[in-house]
Structure formats: structure tokens, C-alpha cells
Amino acid sequence: MSGLIPIVLLGTLILIFSGRLLAQWSRQSHTRDVTIEDYSQARAALDSVFAETAAIKRIFASEDMEFISQAGTSDVQRFFLKERKRLSIQWVRLTQKQVAHLMDLHLKLASYTYEPSPKSEGKLTVNYLCFILASNGALVLLWLFGPFKAVRIVAYTVRAAEYFCSEFSLRLERTDPVKLSSARQLRSV
């Protein structure tokens, strides 16, 4: 009976992918063909998400929160937190949407090229998946803790990752390759 599971899975996946194809087709009937112009526009749209860098940084600025906690009432604080949370989530979602659109256009245009490289495609897919994972993680953090605490957690994680990376590279630098090779020679004797 356990041998049936992969076959049932195979049949189910075929049905799911067929449904996806149908959904794709219904969307496609409203749109025209993708051109290199659309791709350039999508890149510009992605850049525009970061156009107001100072304003975006302001969403996560802890100074504002400190000011409100000193001067405002609890109602004002709650309203301020709610607004900033909404804005930060909106910004992450907009970035996700623009990146997804760019990847969509990339895949469509890649299908027209003569010699796409499966290796490059694989790398891009991994990069994109990492982005989806990280941005969804950020969304969960923003939703759970709000923008100020979430940024602190992200900053802490980035700092911890940097620390581990530098420790690791230091350890590699300290490793004496001569000693390693002599140890290997001893083992082979």
C-alpha cells in the first residue's frame, strides 16, 4: 500500500500543475506579450521602492518611538505603533511584489532566449527563494513585534551572522596548511 503514495502524489501534482496552467492562461488572456521594455520598467519600479530611502529608514527609526513614549499618551503610542506597523508591512509587501514581478518577466524573457544556462537559472532561483524566505520571516517579525523590535532582532541576527563569519574566516587564517599536509602524510604512512 505504501507504494501507492508516490503514484497518488504524482497524479495529484499533475492535477495541481494543470490547474495552475489554467489560472495562468486566464490571466494571460488579459495581458499582452512581455517585451524587454516591460522588463526595464519592472527594474525601474523595483528601484522606485527604495527611492525615498530616508523616508523608509524613518519607518523603523527608534528615535520616533522614544519621542512618542516620552511625550504621548498611551492612545497616541498605540496609534503610532499601529501606523508604523502597517507602513512597514506594506513596504515589505510592495518589495516582494516588485521582485516577484521582475522574476516573472525574467522567466518569460528567458524562455525566448536561445541558450539559457540551467546553472544560472538554478542560482537565480535559489537567490529568489532565499529572498522569499527572508522577507516572509521579516513579515512575521514585523507582525509579531512591530517595526522597532523587529529591526532590533534583524540587526542582532545580522550582527551575529557577521560575528560567526569573521570568527570562521579568522579560524581559517590561523589554520596552518603546512601542519595539515604533514598530518595527512603521517596518516597515510
Which residues sit at the interface with another protein, rule CB under 8 A? 1, 3-4, 7-8, 10-15, 17-18, 20-22, 24-25, 28, 33-37, 39, 43, 46-47, 50, 53, 56-57, 60, 95, 99, 102-104, 106-118, 120-121, 123-124, 127-128, 131, 135, 138, 151, 154-155, 158-159
Q: DSSP states of the chain as a string?
A: -TTHHHHHHHHHHHHHHHHHHHHHHHHHTTS----HHHHHHHHHHHHHHTTTHHHHHHHT-HHHHHHHHHHS-HHHHHHHHHHHHHHHHHHHHHHHHHHHHHHHHHHHHHHHSS---HHHHHHHHHHHHHHHHHHHHHHHHHHHHHHHHHHHHHHHHHHHHHHHHHHHHHHHHHS-HHHHHHHHHHHH-
Identity of the residue, 159 or 184, whose beta carbon is nearer to another protein in the bound complex? 159
* Shortest CB 89 distance to another protein, Å: 13
**Which cell numbers in the block locate residue 41?**
520598467
* Shortest CB 91 distance to another protein, Å: 9
* Shortest CB 162 distance to another protein, Å: 9
* Shortest CB 84 distance to another protein, Å: 14
Identity of the residue, 118 or 177, whose beta carbon is nearer to another protein in the bound complex? 118
Identity of the residue, 157 or 181, whose beta carbon is nearer to another protein in the bound complex? 157
Identity of the residue, 5 or 186, whose beta carbon is nearer to another protein in the bound complex? 5
* Shortest CB 99 distance to another protein, Å: 6
